[in-house]
Amino acid sequence: MNIAIGTAGVVLGLSASLLGVLVVTAGLVTKNPRLIRLSRPYAIVALVGALVTFVAMERALITRDFTVLYVAENGSTRTPAIFNFATLWAALEGSIILWALILTGYVVAVSQKFRKRLEDPLVGWAMVAMFVVALFFFFLMIGPADPFQSFNPPEGYDGPGPNPLLQNHVLMAFHPPMLYLGYVGFTVPFAFAIGALVTGRVGEGWLVSTRRWTLFAWGFLTAGIVLGAWWSYEVLGWGGYWAWDPVENASFLPWLTGTAFIHSVIVQQRRGMLRVWNISLLCATFSLTILGTFLTRSGVLDSVHAFTDSTIGPTILAFFGLIVLVSVGLIGWRGDQLRSPGRMDSVASREGAFLANNLLFAAFAFVVLLGTVFPLVVEAVRGDRITVGVPYFNRMTMPIGFLLLSLMAVAPVLPWRKAGGELLRHRLYWPAWSGVGILVVAVALGARGLAPLVAFTLAGFAGGTAVRQLALALRRQGWRGLVGRANGGMVVHLGVVVIALAFAASSSYIRQAEFDMEPGETVTLAGHTVTYLETELVEHPERTEVKALIEVDGSRVHTPSLSRYRFGEQVIGTPSVRVSPVDDVYLALLRIPEEGDDSIGLRVIVQPLIMWLWVGGMVMVVGTVLAALPSRRPDKDHVSGPAEPVRGARSDLAAGNGSETAGPAIVEVGAEKPTEPAR
């Protein structure tokens, strides 16, 4: 029954997406508004199909219906309830179901948001683009990634359950869905970019209409990456949180290009510049989400995050190639119209800083992409397996990171068009002293080494700028000084600064050692005492667990463990962490007592400021939400900044008239008021 229901859902979603592409395209070509308006019911039907598919698979997992091959290969009667529910996205076919559900949810949300403007050709072509993407993922489920293949289980059959690494921490239930919400969310601005290119309305109107969609997609992706780093830290037992794993990089790449786009789009809205660059960044961001899908689901990578070998790799790679080909072709076709009406007056200006920011993020993305893809290319061409390790990424990305921190310190105080030396000295005085103050405190606390001290100084400099800007905004606007694109962006910058400080401290001053310990023995590392008390055996339905009872600094007992799961011989370790604002004491059990030997092998790692990585991530997400909120009353939403030639202009979509602003005028919508008067 689950197979029949699930297959029916896939067919329903596939049919609705296909009809959405054909009917809405026909309506746009023939200029038939009745056909174009059908995009909304088709979107709803596609969502219903995806929801039916999702419910059918969850029902199969919950009832342990082993006649479904996916459940037989990944489910088990012994799997705890929360991980059994999360098994849907623990393997290839189920993850495609989640992807399709989130995607069709976005399609319906867009059709609802623009329900009064569906006849606008720009919106219509955006809907067609989203239907095409949905059609592709439903096609995967009907063909090479069919989640509802049948299986004939023998009497008493029980499945192996999901990968043991994916069922020993609750973050597994939240990290992948959050990541997918970000990945898939970039489909919306990409679709509107395609609509703008097809219709030739490549001004600033479509950017305004998709600003919040882009922000929320970026925010979800940020949260997903941070949760993934936290999961790695809490689960894998090596004490780290980012290893430049190829699949980690696959999520980081669209984050980099998406971050560049969010910054540079402000220049286009304020000055009418960087049109080609912005639309290229957006197309690149969506293309990189598809490339990331290929890397994680094709089986080309060996990674704890990657799924097993599959046959869908060539299909996804072909779709990636199609996306790139169409994007480049449309950009080339509209090249003349994409010429920017604005121009840069001075490099020492806000727009100059944003351009430098773009170049640095592009360089960062190129370095990561090269290190991730180059081994695959070499293996495909020569058959040799090579590895690009952590030293490459650290060596290549560190100077870029320092330059980005420097820009974070300077860019927010730069005026548009041109900056004067006296103005910059005034605005950067206290932020510069905050950087010096952080450096002095770090040295006083014993920090040494050029790279971490430079990181602390620049982070303090950038943090001082963000605090200064927020203080000015709060003084003038009250609590609304935390709301809006510019002010919310400063909150995001504070989160980045916190992460930079925590990253520099934890990676530079880590202390670790491995000990063989007898019961009652105490060891000392980095000023912390660790005492081994005893071990205990705990039987779980799905595994046998041996816990070591460890006392840290004479207080709370922690229990790192090793578990052997019922299916398979793999032994999985679960570390235990003593968390504090100053440092973490990380305990990983390496060896359990054997007959005639009561000792254990224990890895102890002490890392400073780790907790602030997760705090910084949460601050970034909060800042994203604040940036998406309107910064003033609706009747003042369209007030321009002081240096713009057109004031009070509205987006063509916001006006609902389908027209593009004529001539060389610069469209400025929802711009932030300056947080301080010009000097």
Q: Please write the tens of the pLDDT for every residue from 542-558.
A: 788 899 999 999 887 88
> With 60 as the cut, is the pLDDT of residue 117 above it?
yes
Average pLDDT over residues 360-383: 86
Confidence grade of residue 297 (pLDDT, cut at 50, 70, 90)? confident
Q: Is 63 helix (H, G, I), strand (E, B) or coil?
A: coil
Residue 506 confidence (pLDDT) above 50: yes
Q: Which comes out higher in pLDDT, residue 148 or 264?
A: 148
What is the chain's length?
679
The mean pLDDT of 447-458, rounded to a whole number, is 93
Q: Could you give the maximum distance between any two Cα atoms of the chain, in Å?
A: 87
Contact 107, 128 (CB under 8 A): no
- Mean pLDDT of all residues in the chain? 86
* pLDDT band of 636, cuts 50, 70, 90: very low
Residues 6+ apart with CB under 8 A from 267: 273, 274, 350, 351, 354, 355
| Strand-strand pairing, 528-539 and 561-565 | unpaired
Q: How confident is the model at residue 631 (pLDDT cuts 50, 70, 90)?
A: low
The sign one gets for the Cα dihedral 84, 86, 91, 92 is positive
Q: Which residue has the higher pLDDT, 284 or 347?
A: 284
Please tell me the distance from the alpha carbon of residue 142 to that of residue 96, in angstroms, as a whole number.
11
Mean pLDDT for 127-139 is 96
Q: What is the pLDDT of residue 35?
A: 94
pLDDT greater than 50 at residue 648: no
pLDDT value at residue 381: 76
Q: Which of 375, 223, 224, 366 is nearest to 295 (CA)?
A: 375
What pLDDT is attached to residue 302?
54
Query: Which of 173-182, 242-251, 438-447, 664-673 is least confident?
Result: 664-673
The pLDDT of residue 114? 93
Cα angle value 13/14/20 (rounded, 5°): 90
What's the whole-number mean pLDDT along residues 77-93? Answer: 90
Q: Given a cut of 80, is residue 287 above it in pLDDT? A: yes
- Residue that has been written with the tokens 């809405």 in this structure: 24
Average pLDDT over residues 298-303: 57
Dig out the tokens for 430 from the structure. Answer: 């206290």
**Do residues 43 and 62 make contact, with C-beta atoms less than 8 angstroms apart?**
no
Q: What average pLDDT does range 611-616 have in this prediction?
A: 95
- What was the pLDDT predicted at 70? 94
Residue type at position 222: T
Q: What is the pLDDT at residue 276?
A: 87
Beta-ladder partners of 537 = 546
Q: Which of 140-144, 345-349, 641-645 has the highest mean pLDDT?
A: 140-144
Over residues 175-189, mean pLDDT? 93
Percent of the chain with pLDDT over 90: 57
- Which residue did the predictor score with more confidence, 247 or 673? 247
Nearest to 454 by CA among 499, 491, 401, 492: 401
Nearest alpha-carbon partner for 6 in 101, 106, 136: 101
Q: How confident is the model at residue 638 (pLDDT cuts 50, 70, 90)?
A: very low
Interatomic CA distance for residues 332 and 4, integer angstroms: 46
Give percent helix, percent strand, percent coil of the chain, each to the nearest 5.
60, 10, 30
The reported pTM is 0.88
650 pLDDT band, cuts 50/70/90, is very low
- The lowest-confidence range among 100-104, 109-113, 423-427 is 423-427
Hey, which residues does 528 pair with through a beta bridge? Answer: 525
Q: In this predicted structure, what is the pLDDT of residue 666? A: 29
Q: Kindly give, in sequence order, each residue whose CB lies less than 8 Å from that of residue 425, ignoring residues fewer than 6 positions away.
A: none
For CA atoms 377, 381, 383, 388, the dihedral sign is negative
Spatial neighbors of 450 by CB under 8 A, at least 6 apart, are none
- What is d(CA 74, CA 171) in angstroms, rounded to the nearest whole number? 18
Domain spans of the chain?
1-162, 175-411, 412-509+612-655, 511-608
Across 56-76, average pLDDT:
94
Cα 186 to Cα 8, 213, 288, distances in angstroms: 28, 8, 10
Q: For residue 559, what are the contacts with CB-CB under 8 A and spacing of at least 6? A: 547, 548, 549, 550, 576
The first and second tokens of residue 171, run together, are 């973050």
Query: What are the phi and psi torsion angles at 342 (to 5°)?
Result: -95, 165
The segment with the largest mean pLDDT, out of 46-60, 164-178, 236-250, is: 46-60
pLDDT at residue 555, rounded to an integer = 82
Provide the CB-side half-sphere exposure for 94 (13 A, CA): 28
Question: Do the beta carbons of residue 255 and residue 218 sit within 8 Å?
Answer: yes
Q: d(Cα 379, Cα 389) in Å, to the nearest integer?
A: 16
Instruction: Please check the confidence at residue 606 and state whether its pLDDT lies above 60.
Output: yes
User: Comparing 148 with 348, which gets the higher pLDDT?
Assistant: 148
If pLDDT is split at 50, 70 and 90, which confidence band does 632 have? low
Contact 299, 313 (CB under 8 A): yes
Q: Is the pLDDT of residue 398 over 90?
A: yes
Token pair 């510049």: residue: 273
Instruction: Give mean pLDDT, residues 551-567.
Output: 86
Give dist(CA 141, CA 93) in Å, integer: 7
pLDDT in tens, 188-230: 999 999 999 999 888 777 888 888 999 999 999 999 999 999 9
Ranking 10-14, 15-19, 636-640 by mean pLDDT, the lowest is 636-640
Which of 576, 447, 453 shows the shortest CA–CA distance to 509?
447
Radius of gyration from C-alpha coordinates of the chain: 27
Confidence of residue 60 (pLDDT cuts 50, 70, 90): very high
Tally Cβ neighbours within 10 Å of residue 188. 26
Task: Please give the structure tokens belonging to residue 663.
Answer: 């001539």
Q: Which range has highest mean pLDDT (345-359, 501-515, 650-664)? A: 501-515
Confidence of residue 330 (pLDDT cuts 50, 70, 90): very high
The 10s digit of each residue's pLDDT in 150-179 is 999 998 898 888 888 888 888 888 999 999
pLDDT given at position 309: 52
